[in-house]
Amino acid sequence: MTTLNSRIPEGPIKDKWTLYKDKINLVNPANKRNIDIIVIGTGLAGGSAAATLAELGYSVKAFAYQDSPRRAHSIAAQGGINASKNYMGDGDSNYRLFYDTVKGGDYRSREANVYRLAEVSGNIIDQCVAQGVPFARDYGGLLDNRSFGGVLVSRTFYAKGQTGQQLLLGAYSAMNRQIARGKIEMFNRHEMLDVVKIDGKARGIIARNLITGEIERHSAHAVVVATGGYGNVYFLSTNAMGSNATAAWKIHKKGAFFANPCFTQIHPTCIPRSGDYQSKLTLMSESLRNDGRIWVPAKLEDAKAIQQKKLKPIQIAEENRDYFLERRYPAFGNLVPRDVASRAAKERCDAGFGVNATGEAVYLDFATAIKRYGTEQAKIHGINNASIEKITQLGEAVIEEKYGNLFQMYEKIIDENPYKTPMMIYPATHYTMGGVWVDYNLMTTVPGLYCIGEANFSDHGANRLGASALMQGLADGYFVLPYTIGDYLADDIRTGKIKTDLPEFDEAEKSVKSQLEFFINNKGTHTVDYYHKRLGQVMWDKVGMARNEKGLKEAITEIQEIREDFWKNVKVPGSLNEFNQELEKAGRVADFLELGELFAKDALEREESCGGHFREEHITDDGEAKRDDANFAYVAAWEYTGKPSEAILHKEELEFKDIELKTRSYK
């Protein structure tokens, strides 16, 4: 049986990474070109890794299911990227960034990894500026910073509301430079469908060309999985339509442990669902909570009237509104962390106070802010006795300058003017902190198989702070993996090219083909989306924002039933050897149907509430999350043994030597 060894270097936390780098094995430049590395996924983590490995001299093959690396979903990140540059001189440091991240993650992440992340964060900004990333600047020409939730300093660098896009395009440009030189061979519109292991090591993959349907064999000395999170297990999420867990799940089935699947972030400010046809959810930046006040009607009859469109929100008097975050958390009010805000909105909606036709929405109201800014502006402009209309006009101009693009996006989707009537928002699945278990080197439990970015479980514990996802993806790809992978590959300089006609490749290809053929030949009764939506409903209802033992047990049974039905009655049109989007989806949903069960099992096993994982049995007297450090300060790493229900739990105990464990309170 495999045992967990996190390979955390000895020494004080501040020196671990430096000392470690001093001692690891290196590969001579002449040997690097004879070593092949496969990178699957080309978002921030995969794209930056592929570019850097190619620059170092390795021969890289990169795979993306989209038609270009520039389309990976990292591109959708809005807010910014954290770095402990301390340009603002407000007391930031590597230690502070490390501390905030561990605390924000509710003390369920690995200290040594998080410290290293903080340590390389400043380098990321230097690197991106050198690549031509147009970060926001102040009038003196220096980089501007803003503040984000859960911290006391301004350390977030940004490029308008499109930081993810600009960072991804930076990594993409670095890739393009290497593609042009032939150092990266890029496989667009290709999907990895299995990993090939030879003598226990990852030595290649089976991929499908999504245009021709051809099944291809690719060999390498190491394989890197950088395919993002599994949020689409809920069907509806802020992920892209194609975001999937197939690569991560396939390597799990080949021996890579899967860690903390129940740690999922539900983001509080998303545009609510409008009907059953809904295909995805759109995030509205967290920054809106700086000026918006969240409320629902205080009276149930008002809420019912609003749901039936008989009453408008502006007709509800101030005293009949329930500003529930301000009521429950007077100290932090509307700025409580994401997990807390999401649960409070759900609690009100479950009690019947939701404000749209589906009953799943709360208001985010800017009227108070408009009035406050308008009055302030009137004073600045020396307007005495300004009319209400004038104040509103001035206030709206301030709001437009701060959030104009978000308000416009909202209006396009909902067709209501958020300056005049409150926005409607509801929580949605956004990010998965859990993922493939990796050691300090970012290697999985399979030798030669690495996992980076959102796809691994690493740095965010049970809850991720805003603007930290971009930081982690680029840290892994630019600055961590390129060092650690050399230590492993140093043993491979005499191996020579890995052949693809070995029996291990035959076997993997055979199983991939037989699954694809099954889908095409099954000719069942229900579409792939039918099953995906059913799974998503169970996940949302029973493994969503609040979980309990009974619900989780039911979820496990129901997911098993859906899975059984899927394998009997799924219907996939078209044929194998062509561009076939339904066939692509079928394989992804098949994997979600297994991952969902492990997710529920993990949530059932973790009998505490921490971060994004909220167990209704484990709450304080006033209804808040209650962590159990004595029994659950560990990473739950699951080993696949044939069925999700029979997965074996391995525990990596978490040690906190540099940070004292405390209870989070926002009252």
Residues numbered 257 to 286 that lie near other proteins (CB under 8 A) are 274-275, 277-280, 282-283
Distance in Å, CB of 646 to other proteins, minimum: 34
* Least CB distance to other proteins at residue 98 (A): 18
The C-alpha atoms of residue 513 and residue 283 are separated, in whole angstroms, by 37
Taking 3-state DSSP, the helix, strand and coil percentages for the chain, each rounded to the nearest 5, stand at 45, 15, 40
Looking at beta carbons only, is 24 or 502 nearer to other proteins? 24
Beta bridge partners of 449: 223
For 457, residues 6+ apart whose C-beta sits below 8 A from its C-beta are 259, 260, 263, 433, 434, 435, 436, 437, 438, 635
- 179 vs 391, which CB is nearer to other proteins? 179
Cα 292 from Cα 295, distance rounded (Å): 10
- The tokens describing 152, both together, are 């006391």
Is residue 254 a contact point for other proteins (CB under 8 A)? Answer: no
Tell me which residues in 18-57 interact with other proteins (CB under 8 A).
Answer: 48, 51-52, 55
Q: Strand 59-63 and strand 36-40: pairing?
A: parallel
Q: Which of 11, 12, 134, 200 binds other proteins (CB under 8 A)?
A: 134
Nearer to other proteins, 125 or 465 (CB): 125
* CA–CA dist 94, 410 (Å, integer): 37
Residues 234-253 that bind other proteins (CB under 8 A): 238, 240-242
Closest separation in Å from C-beta 150 to other proteins: 24
Task: Decide: is 299 part of the binding site for other proteins (CB under 8 A).
Answer: no
Pick between residue 50 and residue 637 the one whose CB is nearest to other proteins: 50
619: buried, middle or exposed (CB in 10 Å: 19+, 13-18, 0-12)? middle
> Should residue 68 be labelled a site residue for other proteins when binding is judged by CB under 8 A?
yes
Site for other proteins in 82-101 (CB under 8 A): 85, 87
Q: How far is Cα 485 from Cα 479, in angstroms, rounded to an integer?
A: 11
436-475 binders of other proteins (CB under 8 A): none
Sheet (strand 36-40) strand order: 184-187, 59-63, 36-40, 222-225, 449-451
User: Pairing relation of β-strands 634-639 and 184-187?
Assistant: unpaired
Q: Is the dihedral of CA 506, 512, 513, 515 positive or negative?
A: positive
Q: Is 70 a residue that touches other proteins (CB under 8 A)?
A: yes
Shortest distance in whole angstroms from residue 70 CB to other proteins = 6
> Considering the complex, what minimum distance in angstroms separates the CB of residue 142 from other proteins?
5
> Toward other proteins, which CB reaches closer, 579 or 656?
579
CA distance 164 to 154: 18
Q: Footprint of other proteins on residues 109-128 (CB under 8 A)?
A: 120, 123-128
For the beta carbon of residue 372, count every other beta carbon within 10 angstroms: 14
Q: Which of 8, 24, 136, 619 binds other proteins (CB under 8 A)?
A: 136
SS3 155: strand
Cα–Cα distance measured from residue 344 to residue 325, given in angstroms and rounded to the nearest whole number: 7
Among 26, 143, 335, 619, binds other proteins (CB under 8 A): 143
If DSSP codes are grouped into helix, strand and coil, which group holds residue 62? strand
Nearer to other proteins, 394 or 480 (CB): 480
Shortest gap between Cβ of 89 and other proteins (angstroms)?
12
> How near is the Cβ of 126 to other proteins at its closest, in Å?
5
Task: State the DSSP H helix or E strand holding residue 52, giving kind and residue range, or none if neither.
Answer: helix 44-56
Query: Contact region for other proteins (CB under 8 A) — 163-171, 343-351, 454-462, 561-569?
Result: 163-171
Rounded to a whole number of angstroms, the minimum distance from the CB of residue 417 to other proteins is: 14
Tokens of 464: 């991720």
Site for other proteins in 478-537 (CB under 8 A): 478-479, 527, 529
Q: Which is nearer to other proteins, 29 or 275 (CB)?
A: 275
User: Closer CB to other proteins, residue 64 or residue 112?
Assistant: 64
If one asks whether residue 368 binds other proteins (CB under 8 A), the answer comes out as: no
Stretch that binds other proteins, among 167-175, 458-466, 507-515, 647-655 (CB under 8 A): 167-175
**Count of chain residues binding other proteins (CB under 8 A):** 81
Contact with other proteins (CB under 8 A): which of 58, 107, 135, 640? 135
Residues 179 to 198 in contact with other proteins, rule: CB under 8 A: 179-180, 186, 188
Q: How far is the CB of 405 from other proteins (least distance, A)?
A: 10
Q: Rule CB under 8 A: is residue 342 a binding residue for other proteins? A: no
Whether residue 51 contacts residue 184, with contact meaning beta carbons closer than 8 Å, is answered with yes
132 makes contact with other proteins (CB under 8 A):
yes
Residue with smaller CB distance to other proteins, 169 or 378: 169
User: What is the token pair recorded at 525?
Assistant: 């009764």
The amino acid occupying position 165 is Q
Q: Which is nearer to other proteins, 125 or 636 (CB)?
A: 125
Answer for which of 200, 351, 499, 579 binds other proteins (CB under 8 A) is 579
Structure tokens at 468: 């930290």
* Smallest separation, CB 10 to other proteins (Å): 25
- Burial (CB count <10 Å: 0-12, 13-18, 19+), residue 358: middle
Q: 347: closest CA among 325, 329, 365?
A: 325
Q: What are the residue ranges of helices labelled H in 131-200?
A: 163-180
- Which pair of structure tokens corresponds to residue 323? 């500003």
Return the number of the residue (179 or 288) whose C-beta is nearest other proteins: 179
| Interface with other proteins (CB under 8 A), residue from 159, 399, 508, 512 | 159
Please select the residue that binds other proteins; options are 10, 23, 29, 142, rule is CB under 8 A.
142
Q: Does 574 contact other proteins by CB under 8 A?
A: yes
Residue with smaller CB distance to other proteins, 91 or 140: 140
Tokens of residue 92, six digits:
């930031």
Interface with other proteins, residue 571, by CB under 8 A? yes
- Kindly state the smallest distance separating residue 145's Cβ from other proteins, in Å: 11
The answer to whether the CB of 62 falls within 8 A of the CB of 42 is: yes
Q: Which of 433, 452, 448 has the alpha carbon at shortest distance from 44?
A: 452
List 14, 146, 177, 553, residue binding other proteins (CB under 8 A): 177
Looking up tokens 């007709």 gives 315
Residue with Cβ nearer other proteins (412 or 494): 412
Radius of gyration of the chain measured on its C-alpha atoms: 25
Token couple for 448: 């030669």
Site residues for other proteins, 387-446, by CB under 8 A, read: 408-409, 412-415
Q: Calculate the dihedral angle through the C-alpha atoms of 97, 224, 260, 338, rounding to the nearest 10 degrees.
A: 40
Determine contact, residues 149/465, Cβ cutoff 8 Å: yes
Q: In residues, how long is the chain?
A: 667
